[in-house]
Structure 1
Amino acid sequence: MEGKSRAAQRREKKKAKALRQKQAPVASAAPPPPAAAVQPSKKRRRDPPAPASPGGDTPLAVHCVGLEAPVPGVRAPGALAADEALPSDAKAALALTWLVSPVSPEEFLADHWERRPLLVRRRGGAAGHWGGLLSAAAIKESLRLQRLVQGEDLTVTHFDGRARADRHVNGKRFTPRDLEEALDQGSSVRLLCPQKHHDGVWSLLSLLEEAFGCMVGANAYLTPSASQGFAPHYDDIDAFICQLEGRKRWRVYGYPESQGPLPRYPSADLGGEDLPRELLDTVLEPGDLLFLPRGFVHQAETVSTAPSLHLTVSAGQNNAWADLLELMLPQALAAAAADPATADLRRSLPSDYLDFMGAAHSDRGDEEDPRRAVFRAAIQRHLHRVVDEATDIQ
């Protein structure tokens, strides 16, 4: 194969392998192993799931689990981070266990991650599950120390039922008095990157990043009584909503049929006919967890007399196959086009291709003009070469 490009060598190897496979006898596939039965804890309560989404391939049911006592052996992220005897991967697994308990990490990843919402109601002795993570008192202390800057560390928004308006002043320090005035006026305060100022949140995010293999972020939302900070919308993140203080009503809908699951970008404000079928209408209380895969439409409003505080832990943003290919393919195209053996990629386009390709000819079939089929075949041939090069990128 001396003198041939790496892409050409790989193509010849693939042809030889395909020929050997064609000549070899076909073996029957072994039956899949039986799925392990999940034994629910005696202290868990399961609500019946919502009906399947009409016309969808996957049921859009919300899995609800109840818990009235702490799960033995589950450790908070702060204690895990401080344990020098544990390897980092063990800490990461235990942090995910703490986040979604009593659901096991295996059950969560198989049944909920990128699939369907999960609601964990923690009552009684389990209601203090989020203790030490973040509190309104800790936020006010950060304000007293003049650590938070509007637009950089937090935003202030007001939603009047029709539209959302920003009410913060970029670059200005946010004081405890500013917080009181914002809440009195019915505005919501969103803390951006609370892990910068609160160690409990930082410990959780750092461990979850290893568990999920991607960047994990967080926002905290302080919302006054009888108010709503945002219009219905969907996000481009997988969201773990941890209710820390107060009570908040959450309404969760499916994803819009025009969008489909796992969107790459967040939506604009939605409402009216834009809302898909409602899947869940519930009130979160301290200790509760609501997990929403990206793409599920939702809205929330405070129903307690005191302000509501919840932390949203976000994962999965810009971490899809599409994002990876978006980075790889331009590099692969440049490498393939520079290969001395791929002169075809550097040849000029046919001088008449605009006579049969493009939007002006989109209503014409290949049978009507055979040049279209030839042109498409050339595109596919060149794309195969680029893909071959992409698989060789380290």
Structure 2
Amino acid sequence: MKQSILGSLSAEAFLKSYWQKKPLLIRQAIPDFQPPLSADELAGLALEEEVESRIVLEKGEKPWELRRGPFSESDFTNLPPSHWTLLVQAVDHWIPDVHSLLEGFDFLPSWRLEDIMISYATDGGSVGPHYDHFDVFLIQAEGKRRWQVGPVYDASSPKLENTDLHILSEFEVLEDYVLEPGDMLYLPPGVGHHGAAEGECMTLSVGFRAPSHREILMQYTDFIADQLPESLRYSDSDQTLPTRKGEIDEKALDRLQHILKEHIEDRSMLAEWFGEMMTQPKHEQPVEEPWQSWEHLIEEADDVELVLNEGSRLAFKEEKKSLILFADGDAYECHSASTRHLAQELCQNSQLASEQWCTVEDEETREWLLDLINSGCIYPLFDEEAED
């Protein structure tokens, strides 16, 4: 039985008392933790064009200078000896050992997880006191970092000017912790925090996807509108003689509200949009030459497991007679019992053993699996990949 990342606290107790409510420090959440990559390997990722990275210098050309990658080796050699931080986003998409850490967060829906950002900081390195709009678990990977935790802040809280960073200009310290490798600090949205490296250190930030109300309204209404024909128009067959010619009366607003409710309250439409949005990958998945047929796939990969691409995202929604699998922003309607079973298995375990998929006989499931492989969502794990 694997050890919980929440220590002695049960998942139920965490969700009831802490999740989106108050911070929590867990000492040795991951005992004997070993960093999944070195600082040099992290810097190597920051050289890549497709990897999102930043460097924050507290004392750069201006206070709290932000530089964006990709970087070059000379960018690193010209940095000062202290007070700077390298941040690399979505490292779990590129490094399988980092991606495997997400298994420890199975007490939350997988579609809520965003990514794992890793930061390397020299002595005194920091990004300033700030708050996030989403939940975050901060896992100390190497060295020590001091975290000062404050109250809840919002958009009205004063910020420093003349910097691209959202740094709080007034920060109240309520708690003060020094985290060592394996320690973890959970922070709900809005909680102010300030982390500074004590010597060189590396920290993993497990973030969660939380669309704003603005995004939800804009994207969902766009999604609905794209599917409606031009022939659907405002109508007022119940119109009566207006008392004042230019007035927008209550009946007109009632008609408009009815139109909005008719579409917004369509839960099947809402589920389809939400599933597609919450599984949109941060980066396009690499796809090698596509498999031309099921027979070709079986011939080459009949004894290997299929695994979820580290950068892919899955979710599902059960309907009365089918199941919709959302994979990397696409929706797959699964009708057969075989497809429904394998879809849920893939969401639960992120892999399918060879005996689970090679014996599939119905055409729907075969086409579905082939589509997922050719889209880059899942891939056959051949021996050389397993050894790597």
Instruction: Provide the TM-score with structure 2 as the length reference.
Output: 0.55
Cα deviation for residue 243 of structure 1 reads: 0.9
**One-letter code aligned to 2:2:** V
Equivalent residue number for residue 114 of structure 1: 20
Cα contact 2:138–2:186 (8 A) shared by 1: yes
Q: Unaligned stretches of 5+ in structure 2? A: 158-163, 270-388
Cα contact 1:332–1:386 (8 A) shared by 2: no
Is 1:164 matched with 2:67?
no
Residues 236-291 of structure 1 deviation map (CA, whole Å, 9 limit, x = unaligned) = 2211000112221111222236659xxxxx9822113xx4x533222222221111
User: Which whole-Å CA distance do the structure 2 matches of 1:165 and 1:153 have between them?
Assistant: 17
3-state SS of paired residue (1:155): strand
Write out aligned runs for 1:221-232 (5 A): 221-225=119-123, 227-232=124-129
Cα deviation for residue 102 of structure 1 reads: 2.3
Cα deviation for residue 141 of structure 1 reads: 4.2
Is 1:289 matched with 2:187?
no
Is 1:327 matched with 2:226?
no
Cα contact 1:130–1:244 (8 A) shared by 2: no
User: Which whole-Å CA distance do the structure 1 matches of 2:250 and 2:194 have between them?
Assistant: 46
Cα contact 2:5–2:104 (8 A) shared by 1: no
3-state SS of paired residue (1:189): strand
Cα deviation for residue 381 of structure 1 reads: 4.3
3-state SS of paired residue (1:229): coil
Equivalent residue number for residue 168 of structure 2: 270
Is 1:238 matched with 2:130?
no
Cα contact 2:81–2:122 (8 A) shared by 1: yes
User: Which whole-Å CA distance do the structure 2 matches of 1:110 and 1:258 have between them?
Assistant: 27
What is the identity percentage for the equivalent residue pairs of Structure 1 and Structure 2?
Answer: 21
3-state SS of paired residue (2:9): coil
3-state SS of paired residue (2:5): helix
Shift in CA distance, 201/289, structure 1 to aligned 2, threshold 3 Å: same
3-state SS of paired residue (1:211): coil
Instruction: Provide the TM-score with structure 1 as the length reference.
Output: 0.54
Equivalent residue number for residue 389 of structure 1: 263
Cα contact 2:144–2:181 (8 A) shared by 1: yes
Is 1:251 matched with 2:148?
yes
Residues 224-247 of structure 1 deviation map (CA, whole Å, 9 limit, x = unaligned) = 11x142122211221100011222
Matched residue count: 255
Shift in CA distance, 270/215, structure 1 to aligned 2, threshold 3 Å: same
Shift in CA distance, 149/375, structure 1 to aligned 2, threshold 3 Å: farther
- Of the candidates 4, 7, 10, which is equivalent to residue 104 of structure 1? 10
Q: Unaligned stretches of 5+ in structure 1? A: 1-72, 76-97, 261-265, 354-370
Cα contact 2:91–2:115 (8 A) shared by 1: no
**One-letter code aligned to 2:148:** R
3-state SS of paired residue (1:294): coil
Cα contact 1:150–1:174 (8 A) shared by 2: no
User: Which whole-Å CA distance do the structure 1 matches of 2:228 and 2:45 have between them?
Assistant: 51
**One-letter code aligned to 1:234:** Y
User: Which whole-Å CA distance do the structure 2 matches of 1:290 and 1:307 have between them?
Assistant: 19
Shift in CA distance, 352/316, structure 1 to aligned 2, threshold 3 Å: farther
Cα deviation for residue 334 of structure 1 reads: 7.3
Is 1:343 matched with 2:235?
yes
User: Which whole-Å CA distance do the structure 2 matches of 1:258 and 1:166 have between them?
Assistant: 21
Q: Calculate the aligned-residue CA RMSD, in Å.
A: 3.8
Cα deviation for residue 295 of structure 1 reads: 1.3
User: Which whole-Å CA distance do the structure 1 matches of 2:8 and 2:17 have between them?
Assistant: 14
3-state SS of paired residue (2:117): strand
User: Which whole-Å CA distance do the structure 1 matches of 2:234 and 2:33 have between them?
Assistant: 62
3-state SS of paired residue (2:128): coil
Residues 195-247 of structure 1 deviation map (CA, whole Å, 9 limit, x = unaligned) = 2443221122377489323242111111111x142122211221100011222
Equivalent residue number for residue 313 of structure 1: 206
User: Which whole-Å CA distance do the structure 1 matches of 2:67 and 2:234 have between them?
Assistant: 57
Shift in CA distance, 188/334, structure 1 to aligned 2, threshold 3 Å: closer
